[in-house]
Amino acid sequence: MTPFEYIRAGSCDEALAAAGAPGSAFIAGGTNLLDLMKHEVMTPARLVDISRLDLAGIAPTDAGTGAGTGAGTGAGLRIGALVPNSELAADPLVRRRWPLLSRALLAGASGQLRNKATTGGNLLQRTRCYYFYDTAMPCNKRQPGSGCAAREGFNRIHAILGASDACIATHPSDMAVALRALSAEVELLAPGGGRRQVPLAGFYRLPGETPQIETVLEPGEMIAAVLLPPPEGDRQIYRKVRDRASYAFALVSVAACLRMEAGRIAAAALAFGGLAPMPWRSAKVEAALIGEAPSPALFDHAADLLLAEARGQGHNDFKIPLARRTLAAVLAEACSEEMPA
Amino acid sequence: MTRHLKLDGPDTSRRLDGMAQGVLGRGEPRPEGALKVTGRALYTGDRQPAGAAHGALVRATITRGRVTALNAAPVLAMPGVLAVIDDPRLVRHSGPGGQPNPPEADARSVVYHGQPVALVVAETPEQARHAARALRPDYAPEDAVTDPEDPRAPVDLPEKKQASTGDLDSAIETADVVIDRSYRTASMSAAAMEPHATLAEWEGDRLTLHGTLQMLAVARAQLAAALQIGEDRIRILAPHVGGGFGSKLGITPETVAAAIAARQIGRPVYVVCARPEALEMVSRRSETLQRIRLAADESGRLTGIGHESLVSNLPGQSFSEPVQQATHFTYEAAHRRIVHRVARVHRMMAGPVRAPGEAVGATVFECAMDELADRLGLCPVALRLRNIPKAEPVSGRPYSSNMLAACLTEGARRFGWDERHAAPRARREGEWWIGMGMASAVRVNLVMEAKARVTLHPEATALVETDMTDIGTGSYAVLTQIAAELLGLPMQAVATVLGDTELPKSSGSGGSFGAASTGTAVYLACMELRSRLAEAMGCPEPDLTLKDGHAIHANTRRPIGELMGRALMQAEGHVTPGDATGKVRQATWGAHFAEVAVNAATGETRLRRMQGTFAAGRILNAQTARSQLLGGMIWGIGMALTEELVHDARDGHVVNRDLAEYHLPVNADVPALEVHLLEETDDWATPMQAKGIGELGICGAGAAILNAIHNACGVRVRSFPATLDKVLAGLEQAEAEAAG
C-alpha cells in the first residue's frame, strides 16, 4: 500500500472541494477500494471519506420528479448513494415494488460485505479480472497501454459482448444489473455545485481504446443518489449463475422485469450480468418479446438477438449457450402462470 | 525414565478398555477452545513484538532463468526500508514434507513464476510490501515448459512406483466388460485459513523462531541445514497453527528469509505472507491425468486393474503425488498394472496436500468403478462388495482389519440407497435433475516415531509435554484425554504444552499420524507412571484403578499424592514404527453417499445431502474426530465442484490467487453432512487401537458427487472439478443426440 492523505468530509461541498485535487478518490464502504489499494492496483494519493455525509436515505418520489421514465403510474424511489446494500435489500418498499433489486443485492457478496458496501460504491466496483488484480501482469485498465493479459490468457470469467481488443473484462455488480433492468438513473454532484441526472444506460462506457475510463463521471464528480421510476412490470426475477452456491461473481445473470396481459408479454425489461463490461440491455430483445405469447421458440429468438454479436474468448465460450439457456429459463419462469405477481 | 515400544506386532492387551476415568473417546471440548474463540490464542502473526521489522518477499516475474541484477539501490532509498536481503542461502520453495533435507537454495536462480528472489525489510509491513513490489530485478530468462502434458516436458518413471502383476492386456482382451477411461484432476491449494508467517529473533548466535509449521523437529532440521548452522542453535515455537493440510510440513521460503534478515539487521523480523503468496508460492497438490482400465466378468468380478498416472513437480523434487497408493490393496484382481509418470515442469512446487495419493487417486478410481457398475447394470455398492479382497492382493499380507464392506453396507442402509433409480434422468424436481452416487473411502494408516514427557504432580495434576503441533485438529484435547484417562485425572487437572522444539520430539502433524503416534508416546509415558504407582500401591499394574486422583486396588483407595511420597514423578514415552507395517496391511475405511441436484438449464450442481460412514480404529474424541471427517468431506465437495488452481498456459503462474476466485466451498455449498463412525478394534494399530482420521474423509468423497451427477442427468464429467460449463457441455451433447 502506498501512503495517502485521508480527509473526512463533513459536507458534500467539502467532499467535492477536497476531491478536486488530482489523484483523489472517494471512499465510503471501501469493500473494494481497500483491497485494490493493498494490492496497489489503485494508488490514490488522497482519500476523501464521504461515509458520514447525509446521503443515506431511501424515499419515495413523485412520478413526475423522480427518474420519470416509467410507463406505469405511481411513485418512484430515491436511494441515497450511502445506503448500505443490506439496508436497501431489506427495505420494505423495495421488497414490495422492486423485489428484483432486493434479490440482486442479496445474490451478491456476503452479509458482512453488504453491511458495509454502499449503493454508490456498488455501481463503481472494479472488474474481477485476474490480470487486473495482478500487478505483475500487463493490463490496459490498470496501466493504459501495457496490453491485455486476459485475451491470450485464462479468460473463463470474461466478456462475450461489448469487449474490445484492449479489454475483455466484465463488470461484477449484481445490483447494477437489476438497476439497468429497472431503468434507473444516477444523480451526480459536480465540484462547484453542478447536479445532473444520467440514465444508467449512459453511465457506463464500453472499453474501446480506453478501458481505464469506465463511466461518464467527470473528475471530482460524486454519485449522490440512484433514482428509480415506477417498475414497468410486476414479474421480477434475478437469476444468477455462478461457480458456487454463494459468494462468487456471476458467470451469467439475468434481471427480468415483465408484465403479462391476456397471455401476452406486455412489458419486458431484461438486463444481463457477467457478459459484458457493463450491465447489458438490448432494446431489440425486448422489442421482440413485447406483444408476443411466450413460447420456447420466442425465447430462443430473443436469445439469438441478444447473442448475435457475442464472441467467446476461448475459456468463456460456454457463456454463449449458458446465456441462451438462462434467458430461456428466466423467461419461462417469468411468463408462467405460477409466477406470483 | 523412558518407556519405549517398537511396533512389531499386535497388542491385544486393550488396556484402555480397563480404565475408569471415562474421558477418552468422549466429545470433550478443546482445552484451548476458549482461547481461540476469544482471540487470546496467539498465532504467529498475532505476536507483533515491539521493535520488530517487517519483511516482504520479492517474487520473480519470469518462469525460469537467473536474476542478473537485483537493482536494490532505488528501493533502499524508499521510506522505511532497512535492507534488501539477497543472501545465497535464500530458498526457492518450501522444504519437502517430513524430510530433514532443506529446500533448494540460490533464490537468484528462478524455477517458477512467483518464486521469491529476495526479501525487502522495512519498518512497517506496508512499506516492505510497497518496496518489494517496486523492486525490479533484471533477469536472463530461459525457456520453460509449464504444462505436464506438453510433449517437451521431461518425464520420470520412478522405479518404486511402477508395478505389474499377471498380464493385464490379455485380461482386458478376454474380459466380458472393459472400462478404459481417462480423467483429470486439477492443481489444488491447501488454502489454510492462516497464511504462512514467520517471526525470527536472534539472541547472540541463538535463533528463536515462531512459525506456521506442522512438524517442528523436521522444520528445525531443514532450517539448520538451510542456514548452515547447528540445530542446537534454533528453537522453534508454534503453539497454535491455523490449518496446514500439508502446506506447512516443511519450512517455507519466508522462514529462511526472516531468519537471515533478523540476523543481518539485528532486530526481530516478521514475514507474514499475503494470501496470493500462500496460493502461488508455497506448494500445491499436483494436477493428475489418470487412465483407469478395468476388466471384469459379467458378474462384476474384477479380473484386471490398470491405473496409470501423470503428475508433475519441479525438476529435482523427490515428491510425486502417490496417486495409486490405495489401488494396490482396495480391490481384488489377478492382473494389475500401475504406471506412475512425473512430468518435470516449471510450476510452483507440488507437495503433499491432505491425503496425498488417495484424495485424487481413490476418487478417480471410484468414478471408474461407477462407470463399470453402470455398464454391468449392477448396483455400485454390490460391485464394490464383490471385489473386496480377503488378503492384500499381490503381497498376500492379511489386513490388520478391513471394514470396507461394513462401511458400504451400513452407509447404504442409513442413506436410503435403495431409493436410488439405477438409470439416470429418472428423477426431476422443476428445473433440477436429482441423483445419487456413492464411493468407497480408503486411506493408508501411518505411524511415526514420537516422544512425549508426562509429569505427575502429587496434588493430582499432570503435565504433558511434546513438540507436537495442534493445527486445528484437536491435539491438545486428545493428548490431554489420553493422559487424563490413564492417570485417572479429570481433564481440567491435565495441562498439555505443545509446539516447542525444547520439548520431546513428536511425530508432528501430517499424514493423519499425529494423534495415534504422539498419542501412543503419551500413552507409554502414562503406562510407565502407572507401573510406578502400582508398585507403590503394592499391586500389579493391570490391577490398579486410577480415578479422580485416587489409586484403587481391592479395598484400598488412596490419593495418588500420598503414593508418590509428595514428590513429582516423570516419565517419557517413545514409540517407533517396527515390523508391524510389513506383516499386515493397515488402512482406514469408509463409504460416501451423496445426493445432488443438477440444473437442467444451467448445469449448476447443488449437493443436497451427503453421508460418510467410517471406521478408523478407536475414536479418541468423538467431537474432534467428527469434525475431521466433516472437514475431509467438505474438501471432497471442493474437489468435486469448485476448486481448481489455474495455471496460465503461457508462464505457469497461478491465475486465481485469492479466495474470491480460488473457490473453496462456502456454507451454502455444504448441506447437512452426516458422519457415522463404526466401531473398529485394530490391535495392530498401536496399543491404543487408534488410527489416522484427518484425511480419510476426503478420500473418494468427490467421486460420490460426480457419480451422483451422472445418476441425476446422465452426464459423465471426467475432469475435476465438475464446474457448470463441463456439465452444460454434456447436457448440450445429450440434447443434440436426442434431437438426432
pLDDT of residue B98: 86
Q: What is the DSSP string of B194-245?
A: SPPEEEEEEETTEEEEEE--S-HHHHHHHHHHHHTS-GGGEEEE-S-----T
> Is the overall model pTM greater than 0.90, yes or no?
yes
pLDDT of residue A71: 41
B732/chain A closest Cα distance in angstroms: 9
Q: What is the mean pLDDT of residues B341-355?
A: 98
Question: Which residue of A40, A131, A134 is the best one to mutate when testing the B interface, meaning the one whose CB has the most B CBs within 10 A?
Answer: A134
Reduced to 3 states (helix: H, G, I; strand: E, B; else coil), residue B606 is: strand
A327/chain B closest Cα distance in angstroms: 9
Residues in B closer than 8 angstroms to A241, CB to CB, are 602, 604, 724
Cell of B566: 509428595
Q: pLDDT grade, residue A340 (50/70/90)?
A: low
User: Taking 50 as the threshold, does the pLDDT of residue B474 lie above it?
Assistant: yes
Is-contact B516 B524, C-beta < 8 A? Answer: no
Residues in B closer than 8 angstroms to A321, CB to CB, are 728, 732
Q: What is the pLDDT of residues B364-419, one digit of tens each?
A: 999 999 999 999 999 999 999 999 999 999 999 999 999 999 999 999 999 999 99
Closest C-alpha to B302, from B279, B274, B344, B331: B331
Is-contact A61 A78, C-beta < 8 A? Answer: yes
pLDDT of residue A68: 43
Is-contact B393 B303, C-beta < 8 A? Answer: no
When the pLDDT of each residue in chain B is averaged and rounded to a whole number, the result is: 97
Which residue of chain A comes nearest to B658, CA vs CA?
A130
pLDDT of residue B581: 83
Q: What is the mean pLDDT of residues B29-35?
A: 97
| Residue positions of B annotated with a catalytic role | 695
User: Taking 50 as the threshold, does the pLDDT of residue A72 lie above it?
Assistant: no
Please provide residue B463's backbone torsions phi and psi, each rounded to the nearest 5 degrees: -125, 125
Is-contact A104 A228, C-beta < 8 A? Answer: no
Q: What is the sign of the dihedral through the CA atoms of B513, B514, B516 and B522?
A: positive
Closest C-alpha to A333, from A239, A230, A233, A232: A239
Please provide residue A272's backbone torsions phi and psi, each rounded to the nearest 5 degrees: -130, 135
User: Which residue in the set A1, A2, A326 is minimally distant from B602, CB to CB?
Assistant: A326
- DSSP-derived secondary structure letter, B17: G
Q: What is the sign of the dihedral through the CA atoms of B292, B297, B298 and B300?
A: negative
Q: What is the mean pLDDT of residues A322-332?
A: 98
Q: What is the DSSP string of B195-206?
A: PPEEEEEEETTE
A133 and B658 in contact by Cβ < 8 A?
yes
pLDDT of residue A99: 98
Question: Which residue of A126, A244, A326 is the best one to mutate when testing the B interface, meaning the one whose CB has the most B CBs within 10 A?
Answer: A244
Residue A10: partners with Cβ closer than 8 Å, 6 or more residues away: A52
Alpha-carbon span B130 to A86, nearest angstrom: 34
Q: DSSP strand E in B33-162: where?
A: 53-59, 65-69, 81-85, 109-110, 116-122, 138-141, 155-156
* % of chain B beyond a pLDDT of 70: 100
The pairing of strands A76-80 and A222-228 is: antiparallel
Q: What is the mean pLDDT of residues B668-696?
A: 97
Alpha-carbon span B97 to B353, nearest angstrom: 10
When the pLDDT of each residue in chain A is averaged and rounded to a whole number, the result is: 95
B656 and A130 in contact by Cβ < 8 A?
yes
Q: What is the DSSP string of B674-724?
A: EEEE-----TTSTTTTB---TTGGGTTHHHHHHHHHHHHHS----BSS--H
Interface contacts A/B by beta carbons within 8 Å? 85
Domains of chain B: 2-30+447-582 (3.30.365.10), 44-62+64-143+190-281 (3.30.365.10), 288-445+586-739 (3.30.365.10)
Is-contact B519 B691, C-beta < 8 A? Answer: no
User: Taking 70 as the threshold, does the pLDDT of residue A73 lie above it?
Assistant: no
- The tally of CA atoms less than 13 A away on the side-chain side of residue A131 is 26
Distance of CA B212 to the CA centre of its chain: 15
B61/chain A closest Cα distance in angstroms: 6
* Residue B271: C-alpha distances to residues A182, B195, B370 (Å): 49, 11, 47
Which residue of chain A comes nearest to B665, CA vs CA?
A244
Alpha-carbon span B631 to B169, nearest angstrom: 40
Write down the ipTM of this complex.
0.96
User: Taking 90 as the threshold, does the pLDDT of residue A67 lie above it?
Assistant: no
User: Which residue in the set A1, A244, A251 is minimally distant from B130, CB to CB?
Assistant: A1
User: Which residue in the set A40, A157, A252 is minimally distant from B133, CB to CB?
Assistant: A40
| Cis peptide, bond prior to residue B721, ω within 30 of zero | yes
Alpha-carbon span A158 to A151, nearest angstrom: 9
Which residues in A have their CB inside 8 Å of a CB on B? 1-3, 38, 40, 128, 130-131, 133-136, 152-154, 156-157, 241, 243-249, 251-252, 318, 321-322, 325-326, 328-329
A152 and B650 in contact by Cβ < 8 A?
yes
- DSSP-derived secondary structure letter, B30: P
Which residue of chain A comes nearest to B128, CA vs CA?
A1
Q: pLDDT grade, residue B100 (50/70/90)?
A: very high
pLDDT of residue B191: 97
User: Taking 80 as the threshold, does the pLDDT of residue A74 lie above it?
Assistant: no
pLDDT of residue A337: 82
Is-contact A137 A123, C-beta < 8 A? Answer: no
- Higher-pLDDT residue of A1 and B269 is B269
Closest C-alpha to A193, from A226, A221, A215, A225: A221
pLDDT of residue A62: 79
Q: What is the mean pLDDT of residues A88-106?
A: 97
Helix (H) or strand (E) holding A132: helix A130-133
- DSSP-derived secondary structure letter, B423: S
Closest C-alpha to B409, from B580, B666, B590: B590
Residues in A closer than 8 angstroms to B665, CB to CB, are 244
pLDDT of residue A193: 87
Angle at B699 between CA B697 and CA B703, to 5 degrees: 110
* Residue A260: C-alpha distances to residues A254, A268, A288, B163 (Å): 18, 9, 14, 68
Alpha-carbon span B507 to B27, nearest angstrom: 23
Q: What is the pLDDT of residues A285-305, one digit of tens each?
A: 999 999 999 999 999 999 999
Residues in A closer than 8 angstroms to B650, CB to CB, are 152-153
Q: pLDDT grade, residue A65 (50/70/90)?
A: very low
Q: What is the DSSP string of A56-96?
A: --EEEE-TTTSS---SS-S-EEEEETT-BHHHHHH-HHHHH
Residue B256: partners with Cβ closer than 8 Å, 6 or more residues away: B89, B90, B91, B103, B223, B226, B227
pLDDT of residue B157: 97
* Residue B279: C-alpha distances to residues B227, B644, B702 (Å): 25, 11, 22
User: Which residue in the set B641, B666, B724 is minimally distant from A246, CB to CB?
Assistant: B666
B728 and A241 in contact by Cβ < 8 A?
no
Which residues in B have their CB inside 8 Å of a CB on A? 59, 61, 79, 114, 126, 129-130, 133, 274, 276, 431, 601-604, 606, 641-642, 646, 648-650, 653, 655-658, 660-661, 663, 665-669, 723-725, 728-729, 732
Q: pLDDT grade, residue B303 (50/70/90)?
A: very high
Residue at B287: amino acid letter: E
Q: Which residue has the cell 480408503?
A: B442
- List the B556-559 sheet strands across, edge first: B545-547, B550-553, B556-559
Q: pLDDT grade, residue B38 (50/70/90)?
A: very high
pLDDT of residue A45: 97
pLDDT of residue B740: 82
Alpha-carbon span B188 to B645, nearest angstrom: 5
Residues in B closer than 8 angstroms to A329, CB to CB, are 431, 601-602
